[in-house]
């Protein structure tokens, strides 16, 4: 059989030494390839010399330096001689030219970006082929990639939220034109000198309104840390825009927490975590993250695509609503739901679930037995009524706010099932959170006969929940 036959391992993988079927990288390493490997110096080699020579007479490009390199292609800083314009020039590596899938992905990327026109998507200037080497030139983003600056956002939640909102709007523009990115990650978001983001690298983009053999390519899976569970499972034919919404949430998570939602020692182990485990709430890693922003992150990272934001624009609008001081559309998941999600990892959430259900039932029985008594602190309460205040966090670390709010909501939900009992809505009772208003005044302002308050104290794996009905 000829040595060039693609079914015959021709060499060892340049990354791990494993068997190679196509190109110079094995299938396993293809899972985690990026275009983020730095290099320096002017491009060298006869093939680049030939390229420059052929473009010179046509007023083509002068290669200045190499910017990034991956398993499929390389990106150069170049000057267009005819226009005297500095651009980013992307080309396929010569050793990859014999692989049909690589050529097809390269051409698909050019077609995808050419179909888009949005200030948040890096535009293509020219597509061509010279010296047998396909290329396209793009706007040069002088600020580098978001991956290079990710550490700068951990203490700037508002800036991170604003940036991801801009990216989400650009991604929505692609979705409106039936293009799914499938490989959104910090390395594929470039920045201008003033920090404006550009989405780039549509190399494994999927056209939602047409079939493509690229969906079966192992290397078209995306980067493990940022892909949705359904994409990690290989369901490429079933992918929807919610897969990109998941990736946007994973990027926001990393900017705020300083690490991706899932980060194992190997790509395959990371993929297993993506499909089987719930991400730790980012506030457990960085308590400075605002609670609404954490809720937005976790909604994006739901395992069920239907439980995420319906679109990238819906995500952008929720982020912008928080920036403007408004309410967000999402809310904490109920305690039973969070218990179900975490049941594979620990028995503690299940125990907590039973504790909270018991607390809810107990509170309901107490209220039911007392609802016809007049409240001592209000003259004319409005019938049989109660307000559930957000439970306070009395833990030494003060890191249980998310859990405290969840308890309050579960109790409130249980009480609403009692016939004839008026329960004040969450938005009204939670409005007093952190305001320092005493219980008597809250009862008077909400015109209720009863007020339920409580606190949570956690030390290690022990949790103490105290509730008081007034």
Backbone torsions φ then ψ of 60, nearest 5 degrees: -80, -125
Q: How far apart are CA 273 and CA 271, in angstroms?
A: 5
Told to judge if 183 belongs to the known catalytic residues of this protein, a careful annotator would answer yes
Please, are residues 265 and 132 in contact by the beta-carbon 8 Å criterion?
A: no
Distances in whole angstroms, Cα of residue 76 to Cα of each of 68, 136, 184, 422 = 7, 11, 21, 67
Q: Residue 114: which H helix or E strand, with range?
A: helix 100-114
Backbone torsions φ then ψ of 373, nearest 5 degrees: -80, 140
Q: How far apart are CA 400 and CA 46, in angstroms?
A: 62
270 closest CA partner among 303, 230, 226: 226
Give the alpha-carbon dihedral of 207, 208, 212, 215, to 10 degrees: 100
What are 47-55's contacts with CB under 8 Å, separation 24+? 47/94, 47/131, 47/133, 50/131, 51/91, 51/130, 51/131, 51/133, 54/130, 54/131, 55/81, 55/130
For 90-125, give one letter per residue: b (16+ CB within 10 A) or e: bbbbeebbebebbeebbebbbebbeebebebbbebe
Q: How far apart are CA 52 and CA 79, in angstroms?
A: 11
Tell me the three state secondary structure of residue 454: strand
Q: Which residue is catalytic, options 5, 183, 235, 393?
A: 183
- Quick one: tokens of 103? 């050529």
Please, are residues 189 and 167 in contact by the beta-carbon 8 Å criterion?
A: yes
Count of other CB atoms within 10 angstroms of residue 150: 19
What are 56-64's contacts with CB under 8 Å, separation 24+? 56/81, 60/130, 61/87, 61/89, 61/137, 63/89
274 closest CA partner among 254, 294, 246: 246
Catalytic residues: 183
């Amino acid at each position: 059989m000829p040595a060039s036959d693609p079914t015959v391992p021709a060499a060892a993988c340049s990354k791990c030494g494993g068997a190679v079927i196509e190109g110079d990288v094995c299938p396993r390493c293809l899972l985690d390839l990026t275009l983020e490997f730095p290099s320096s110096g002017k491009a060298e080699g006869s093939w680049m010399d030939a390229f420059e020579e052929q473009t010179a007479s046509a007023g083509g490009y002068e290669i200045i330096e190499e910017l990034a390199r991956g398993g499929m292609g390389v990106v150069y800083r170049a000057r267009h001689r005819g226009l005297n314009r500095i651009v980013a020039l992307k080309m396929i590596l010569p050793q990859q030219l014999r692989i049909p899938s690589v050529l097809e992905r390269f051409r698909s990327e050019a077609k995808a970006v050419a179909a888009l026109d949005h200030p948040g998507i890096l535009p293509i200037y020219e597509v061509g082929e010279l010296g047998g080497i396909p290329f396209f030139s793009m706007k040069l983003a002088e600020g580098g990639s978001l991956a290079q600056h990710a550490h700068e956002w951990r203490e700037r939640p508002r800036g991170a939220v604003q940036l991801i909102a801009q990216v989400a709007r650009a991604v929505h523009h692609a979705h409106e034109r039936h293009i799914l990115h499938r490989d959104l990650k910090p390395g594929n978001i470039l920045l201008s000198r003033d920090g404006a983001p550009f989405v780039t690298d549509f190399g494994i983009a999927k056209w939602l309104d047409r079939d493509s053999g690229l969906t079966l390519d192992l290397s078209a899976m995306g980067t493990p840390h940022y892909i949705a569970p359904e994409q990690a499972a290989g369901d490429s034919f079933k992918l929807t825009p919610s897969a990109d919404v998941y990736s946007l949430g994973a990027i926001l998570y990393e900017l705020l927490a300083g690490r991706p939602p899932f980060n194992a020692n190997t790509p395959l182990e990371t993929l297993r975590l993506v499909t089987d485990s719930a991400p730790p709430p980012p506030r457990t890693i960085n308590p400075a993250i605002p609670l609404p922003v954490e809720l937005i992150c976790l909604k994006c990272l739901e395992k069920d695509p239907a439980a995420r934001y319906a679109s990238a624009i819906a995500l952008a609008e929720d982020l912008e609503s928080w920036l403007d001081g408004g309410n967000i559309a999402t809310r904490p998941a109920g305690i039973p739901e969070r218990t179900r999600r975490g049941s594979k990892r620990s028995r503690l959430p299940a125990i907590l679930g039973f504790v909270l259900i018991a607390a809810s039932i107990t509170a309901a029985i107490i209220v039911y037995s007392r609802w016809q008594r007049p409240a001592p602190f209000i003259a004319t309460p409005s019938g049989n009524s109660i307000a559930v205040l957000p439970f306070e966090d009395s833990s030494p670390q003060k890191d249980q706010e998310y859990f405290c709010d969840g308890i309050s909501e579960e109790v409130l939900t249980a009480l609403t099932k009692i016939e004839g009992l008026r329960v004040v809505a969450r938005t009204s009772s939670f409005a007093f959170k952190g305001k320092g208003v005493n219980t008597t005044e809250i009862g008077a302002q909400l015109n209720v006969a009863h007020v339920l308050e409580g606190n949570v104290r956690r030390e290690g794996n022990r949790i103490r929940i105290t509730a008081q009905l007034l």
